RNA sequence: GCGAGAGUGGCGGAACUGGCAGACGCGCUGGACUUAGGAUCCAGUGGGGCAACCUGUAGGGGUUCAAAUCCCCUCUCUCGCACCA
């Protein structure tokens, strides 16, 4: 019976059967668990190829681990709060809730259509009050512990989104979401005190926490987080202000340059600066306007001086726009000779400089002709008693001196700032705070949670958050005094939602959200898969939240994600028409634009994006080739952590591969299921059928064992799915090569190879594997079968090809039996006629043998 | 500027601790079957040469019996950070 591979038919059939059976449901039991987690998507409307790749990777891992006997938790949900929903409301008049739920419904269908093995019973949507109630609960707990606080500060303001952004959300001075230029604005904001954990967050990155190292994280991500937290050791030095009792503390990592300090700079917001300019606020404000702008340095002399505690030198005090209030003490000592920024500032305002560090080798630095600052370590000069010391030693000695003198202390500073979570937006978690004229800031009592986002609001797109106008929402009685009060109208940054969703998944939908037993069974996630774009944002916040959850007594775990796999981007070639700009592939015919007929330019391969029109629609892809092909190609084209170049031709290649398996099985069904297909010997799963007694392992059986070995090893070793798939392709080539009809004697070998092949294929292409599993007469669910084992003995070749080199060049290849000693193979190599020939007239200097498979003869 | 990573056929990519460079797939070439092939199957495919052989992993140098792999220099690309004192 001939049957053609119709992926749609096969896949829908099994998806229908699986949906009723709930076979991917997990619950704590005695087995070892494996928590396989992929970053949940924002329900933007449709999934894109990046999702397909991300979830295909996760699904193979989950299915593989399941077959290896783990109790796999593999959940999925929706990062459902966020701006696009609100923008859609403004533009199209759809309510964000409606828009979001519609998108979720559609995207869920798409994920199901991909055949992903999720436990849908644990699905969460962060916009669900039952979910965000816990955002509020965490907020209250943090408020109680002083980890959530309110303060006025300069914030990153995106004028287009009309909201505040966290530092992590500003990319190159622009909004991470809409790319408009971010400006500084002063606002009252809620902050989460992530800095309370800065030391610990950093220590774990260095592997300094016992048992909870992040050894399974890419080095690159660890480094990015390390730099983000930015620890630096230094000295805080107090400079007394001349003619007053004030002191200005500054932070420096270069105490060795202290004798070279020529002036002091204050941040515009520095309290001392405000004091100095109490009478002339205008001048200060002018500088403030340029605060944080990097284009140009601006300064303003305060008219005051401080005294350098180390040598009594009188130093002028400036206010400078480039000095950050948020870092260190908000004031710096400026050493123009040894800091490029100070150098530039000094040039600008005609300030002097003084060289106090000399490179070790060179004779000296000409003071008057410095072209730029000398920032390296060196030897101190003109530094009183410290002259002649090397920088490193000098830093220690000067620090000791300053501390002894009572003028300062050694401190450690971090670049990391507290996390500003207030957003002037509607579609997010309401911050559970009430402002009372009498009682001040009052947290919403726990029993009143959740503070539900009112649905009945107006979306105008103007004048900030719609909540500001929602009278019923705003006006409340104060929980303290019962008097009139109003609610906080800001909502939380959506990164709060995603900072703990993986903990929520540990308990089923109808179980309590935070259940200690569930958390301790499933956490931490054994494998997390997602894009690198979250290397600092989401991953750092989550590490912070996990520690908060730990300190609330739910678990002893600090690190939420044991292993992290950051998959590369999905890219595709771009095409441009000189007249019409970016083109879809369908707009090109014979290298010409279908609209104007001009020759198109094939551009570089770039990340798929709608604006560049180099996208592939998963729906279309699945319609044409099926989910199994879509999954398989995503995994075959490149190793997971690398960027993947999409290629229609490549997809076809993978499709052909599946088709070949399918037709082979159906074309040979009788042989595969007939009496001759009974495997002789005792083929326990892990054992090797050696063939009929007395015979050697038949080649196909050996190839099968080799393939199982390779696929297993490739998956275990860093998830190299691309090479695992290549190995399976080789096996299929071997199977079909042995196919000619009539060779009934080989039936049992084919049967054996096909069975194992389907098991190997099951995590990658679950539908096809199941279909053919059934076809060859298996009644079971292939997903519930065990991963096949292999026998090293059966995998080993009996004959090996011995490579013989003379002076490092291959001169002969001879077949020899497996397992010869080095002496044996050397002898064989030397007696080979072709080798003798090349060696005539030469003296053999040395002979090397490598692992019984290569001989190198050194001869002159 | 600082930090990290990567450069291998026409293309995507293989090559575990130094040990046959190019697995697997795409593309290409030839053939078979066909009314036809953008279907399928078979064979070939780094470059040069009729051949033995030579040559080849961004470029240059080094270590080694042996280097894509280790070391040094140069170039190119990608990513992250960028007044953090």
Domains, in order of start, for chain A: 135-193+418-492 (3.40.50.620), 231-414 (3.90.740.10), 668-795 (1.10.730.10), 799-859 (3.10.20.590)
CA distance A37 to A526: 8
CA of A357 to C1' of B42 (A): 76
Would the pLDDT of A688 be above 50? no
Query: A737 phi and psi, to 5 degrees?
Result: -65, -25
pLDDT 10s digits, A421-442: 998 889 999 999 999 999 999 9
Token representation of residue A611: 């604006």
CA of A837 to C1' of B47 (A): 28
Would the pLDDT of A390 be above 60? yes
CA of A833 to C1' of B51 (A): 20
Nucleotide closest to residue A834 (CA–C1'): B52
Token representation of residue A758: 């389907």
What pLDDT, on a 0 to 100 scale, did the predictor assign at position A120? 95
Token representation of residue A552: 């609330």
Asked whether the beta carbons of A625 and A608 are under 8 A apart, the reply is: no
Q: Which residue is nearest to nucleotide B18 (CA to C1')?
A: A850
Nucleotide closest to residue A801 (CA–C1'): B20
CA of A340 to C1' of B53 (A): 61
pLDDT 10s digits, A457-489: 988 777 678 899 899 999 999 999 999 999 999
What pLDDT, on a 0 to 100 scale, did the predictor assign at position A142? 98
CA distance A19 to A83: 33
Q: Where does the pLDDT of residue A743 fall: very low under 50, low under 70, confident under 90, or very high at 90 and above?
A: low
> Rounded mean pLDDT of A215-231?
91
**Best mean pLDDT range from A181-190, A411-420, A569-578:** A411-420
Token match 């330019």: residue? A601
Q: Where does the pLDDT of residue A685 fall: very low under 50, low under 70, confident under 90, or very high at 90 and above?
A: very low
Kindly state the percentage of chain A with pLDDT values over 90.
61
CA of A51 to C1' of B80 (A): 23
Q: Which residue is nearest to nucleotide B67 (CA to C1')?
A: A808
CA of A697 to C1' of B44 (A): 31
CA of A545 to C1' of B85 (A): 31
Would the pLDDT of A90 be above 60? yes
Closest CA to A228 of A416, A17, A27: A416
Would the pLDDT of A694 be above 50? no
CA distance A676 to A744: 7
CA distance A617 to A47: 8
CA of A645 to C1' of B58 (A): 21
Mean pLDDT of chain A: 89
Q: Which residue is nearest to nucleotide B42 (CA to C1')?
A: A737
CA of A214 to C1' of B24 (A): 33
Nucleotide closest to residue A733 (CA–C1'): B24
CA distance A548 to A142: 8
What pLDDT, on a 0 to 100 scale, did the predictor assign at position A361? 62
pLDDT 10s digits, A255-298: 999 999 999 999 988 999 999 998 888 888 888 877 766 668 88
pLDDT 10s digits, A17-28: 998 888 899 999
Token match 């707990």: residue? A141
Would the pLDDT of A695 be above 60? no
pLDDT 10s digits, A316-353: 999 999 999 889 999 999 999 999 999 999 999 999 98
Nucleotide closest to residue A332 (CA–C1'): B85
Which helix (H) or strand (E) is A464 found in, with range? none
Would the pLDDT of A715 be above 50? yes
What DSSP assignment string belongs to A593-623? ETTT-PBPEEEEEEE--TTTT----HHHHHH
CA of A357 to C1' of B72 (A): 30
In the Cβ-directed half-sphere of A229, how many Cα atoms lie within 13 Å?
27
Token representation of residue A741: 């009809």
Query: Could you give the angle at which helices A699-716 and A721-737 cross, rounded to 10 degrees?
Result: 170
Query: A426 phi and psi, to 5 degrees?
Result: -85, -50
CA of A550 to C1' of B36 (A): 71
Would the pLDDT of A363 be above 80? no
Q: Which residue is nearest to nucleotide B65 (CA to C1')?
A: A858
Closest CA to A311 of A237, A409, A396: A237
Token representation of residue A567: 């998959």
CA of A650 to C1' of B26 (A): 6
Closest CA to A255 of A359, A149, A409: A409
Nucleotide closest to residue A230 (CA–C1'): B84
Worst-scoring range by mean pLDDT, A48-52, A612-616, A706-710, A781-785? A612-616
Nucleotide closest to residue A571 (CA–C1'): B12
What pLDDT, on a 0 to 100 scale, did the predictor assign at position A717? 85
Nucleotide closest to residue A173 (CA–C1'): B82
Query: A539 phi and psi, to 5 degrees?
Result: -70, -30
Closest CA to A406 of A219, A284, A238, A255: A238
Q: Which residue is nearest to nucleotide B12 (CA to C1')?
A: A637
Distances in Å between the Cα of A165 and the Cα atoms of A159, A181, A419, A492, A769 are 11, 12, 10, 11, 47
Nucleotide closest to residue A416 (CA–C1'): B84
What pLDDT, on a 0 to 100 scale, did the predictor assign at position A789? 92
Would the pLDDT of A415 be above 70? yes
What pLDDT, on a 0 to 100 scale, did the predictor assign at position A687? 43
CA of A544 to C1' of B62 (A): 48
Q: A675: which DSSP letter?
A: G
Q: Which residue is nearest to nucleotide B13 (CA to C1')?
A: A638
Which helix (H) or strand (E) is A585 found in, with range? none
CA distance A561 to A217: 9
CA distance A317 to A152: 26
- Residue A522's DSSP bridge partners are none
CA of A734 to C1' of B51 (A): 33
Tally of CB atoms within 10 A around A257: 29
Nucleotide closest to residue A855 (CA–C1'): B19
Q: Where does the pLDDT of residue A808 fall: very low under 50, low under 70, confident under 90, or very high at 90 and above?
A: confident
What pLDDT, on a 0 to 100 scale, did the predictor assign at position A682? 46
Nucleotide closest to residue A219 (CA–C1'): B4
3-state secondary structure A5-54: CCHHHHHHHHHHHHHHHCCCCCCCCCCCEEEEEECCCCCCCCCCHHHHHH
CA of A717 to C1' of B18 (A): 21
CA of A422 to C1' of B77 (A): 40
Nucleotides of B under 7 A from a protein CB: 3-5, 11-15, 17, 19-21, 23-27, 39-42, 53-55, 65-67, 79-85
> Rounded mean pLDDT of A308-315?
95
Nucleotide closest to residue A636 (CA–C1'): B25
Would the pLDDT of A683 be above 60? no
Q: What angle do CA A97, A100, A103 make, to 5 degrees?
A: 150
Nucleotide closest to residue A345 (CA–C1'): B83
Closest CA to A7 of A628, A821, A809: A628
What pLDDT, on a 0 to 100 scale, did the predictor assign at position A693? 45
Query: A518 phi and psi, to 5 degrees?
Result: -60, -45
- Residue A36's DSSP bridge partners are A527
Q: Where does the pLDDT of residue A528 fall: very low under 50, low under 70, confident under 90, or very high at 90 and above?
A: very high
What pLDDT, on a 0 to 100 scale, did the predictor assign at position A28? 95
Token representation of residue A642: 């690398």
Buried b (16+ CB within 10 A) or exposed e, A441-458: ebbbeeeebbbebeeebe
CA of A572 to C1' of B75 (A): 27
Q: Is A244 helix (H, G, I), strand (E, B) or coil?
A: coil
Nucleotide closest to residue A846 (CA–C1'): B65
CB within 8 Å of A571: residues ≥ 6 apart: A605, A606, A607, A608, A614, A643, A644, A645, A646
CB within 8 Å of A548: residues ≥ 6 apart: A138, A141, A142, A147
């Amino acid at each position: 019976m001939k049957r053609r591979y119709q992926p749609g038919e096969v896949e829908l059939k099994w998806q229908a059967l699986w949906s009723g059976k709930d076979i991917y449901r997990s619950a704590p039991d005695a087995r070892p668990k494996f928590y396989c987690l992929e970053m949940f998507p924002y329900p933007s409307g449709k999934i894109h190829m990046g999702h397909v790749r991300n979830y295909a990777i996760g699904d193979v891992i989950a299915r593989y681990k399941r077959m290896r006997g783990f109790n796999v938790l593999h959940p999925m949900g929706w990062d459902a709060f966020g701006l696009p929903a609100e923008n859609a409301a403004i533009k199209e008049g759809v309510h964000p809730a409606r828009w979001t739920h519609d998108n979720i419904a559609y995207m869920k269908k798409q994920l199901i259509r991909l055949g992903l093995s999720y436990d849908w019973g644990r699905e969460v949507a962060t916009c669900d009050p039952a979910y965000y109630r816990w955002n509020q609960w965490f907020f209250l707990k943090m408020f109680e512990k002083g980890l959530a606080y309110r303060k006025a500060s300069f914030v990153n303001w995106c004028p287009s989104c009309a909201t505040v952004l966290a530092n992590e959300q500003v990319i190159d001075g622009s909004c991470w979401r809409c790319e408009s230029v971010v400006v500084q604005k002063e606002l009252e904001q809620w902050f989460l005190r992530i800095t309370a954990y800065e030391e610990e967050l950093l220590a774990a990155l260095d592997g300094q926490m016992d048992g909870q190292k992040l050894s399974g994280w890419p080095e690159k991500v660890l480094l990015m987080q390390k730099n983000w937290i930015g620890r630096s050791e230094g000295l805080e030095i107090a400079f007394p202000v001349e003619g007053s009792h004030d002191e200005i503390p500054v932070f420096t990592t270069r105490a060795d340059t202290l004798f070279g300090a020529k002036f002091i700079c204050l941040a515009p917001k520095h309290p001392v600066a405000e004091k100095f300019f109490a009478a002339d606020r205008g001048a200060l404000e002018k500088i403030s306007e340029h605060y944080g702008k990097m284009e140009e340095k601006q300064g303003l002399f305060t008219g005051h001086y401080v005294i350098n505690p180390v040598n009594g030198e009188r130093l002028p005090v400036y206010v400078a726009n480039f000095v950050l209030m948020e870092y260190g003490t908000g004031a710096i000592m400026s050493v123009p000779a040894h800091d490029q920024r100070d150098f530039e500032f000094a040039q600008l305002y005609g300030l002097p400089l003084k060289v106090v560090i000399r490179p070790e080798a060179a004779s000296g630095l000409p003071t008057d002709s410095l072209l730029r600052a000398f920032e390296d370590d060196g030897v101190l000069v003109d530094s009183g008693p410290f002259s002649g010391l090397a920088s490193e030693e000098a830093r220690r000695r000067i620090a000791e001196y300053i501390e002894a003198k009572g003028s300062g202390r050694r401190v450690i500073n971090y670049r990391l700032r507290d996390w500003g979570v207030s957003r002037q937006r509607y579609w997010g978690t309401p911050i559970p705070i009430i402002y009372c004229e009498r009682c001040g800031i009052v947290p919403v009592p726990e029993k009143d949670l959740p503070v539900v986002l009112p649905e009945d609001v107006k979306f105008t797109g103007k004048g900030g958050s719609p909540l500001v106008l929602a009278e019923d929402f705003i006006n409340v009685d104060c929980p303290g005094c019962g008097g009139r009060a109003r609610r906080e109208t800001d909502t939380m940054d959506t990164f709060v939602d995603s900072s703990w969703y993986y903990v929520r998944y540990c308990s089923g939908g109808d179980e309590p959200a935070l259940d200690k037993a569930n958390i301790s069974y499933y956490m931490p996630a054994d494998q997390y898969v997602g894009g690198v774009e979250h290397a600092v944002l989401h991953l750092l916040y989550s590490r912070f939240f996990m520690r908060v959850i730990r300190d609330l007594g739910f678990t002893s775990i600090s690190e939420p994600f044991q292993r992290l796999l950051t998959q590369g981007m999905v890219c595709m070639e771009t095409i441009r028409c000189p007249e019409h700009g970016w083109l879809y592939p369908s707009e090109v015919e014979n290298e010409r634009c279908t609209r104007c007929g001009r020759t198109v330019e094939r551009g570089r391969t770039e990340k798929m994006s709608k604006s560049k029109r180099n996208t592939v629609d998963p729906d279309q892809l699945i319609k044409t080739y099926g989910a199994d092909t879509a999954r398989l190609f995503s995994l075959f084209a490149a190793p997971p952590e690398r960027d993947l170049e999409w290629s229609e031709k490549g997809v076809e290649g993978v499709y052909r591969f599946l088709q070949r398996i399918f037709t082979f099985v159906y074309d040979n069904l009788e042989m595969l299921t007939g009496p001759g297909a009974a495997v002789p010997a005792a083929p326990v799963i892990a054992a090797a059928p050696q063939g009929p007694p007395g015979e050697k392992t038949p080649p196909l059986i050996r190839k099968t064992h080799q393939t199982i070995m390779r696929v297993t090893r490739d998956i275990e070793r860093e998830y190299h799915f691309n090479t695992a798939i290549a190995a399976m392709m080789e096996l299929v080539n071997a199977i079909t090569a042995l196919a000619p009809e009539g060779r009934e004697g080989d039936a049992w070998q084919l049967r054996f190879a096909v069975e194992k092949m389907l098991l190997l294929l099951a995590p990658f292409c679950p539908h096809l594997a199941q279909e053919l599993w059934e076809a060859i007469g298996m009644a079971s669910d292939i997903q519930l079968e065990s991963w096949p084992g292999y026998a090293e003995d059966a995998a080993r070749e009996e004959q090996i090809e011995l490579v013989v080199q003379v002076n490092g060049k291959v001169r002969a290849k001879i077949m020899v039996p497996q397992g010869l000693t080095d002496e044996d193979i050397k002898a064989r190599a030397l007696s080979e006629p072709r080798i003798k020939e090349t060696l005539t007239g030469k003296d053999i200097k040395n002979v090397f043998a490598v692992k019984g498979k290569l001989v190198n003869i050194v001869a002159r």
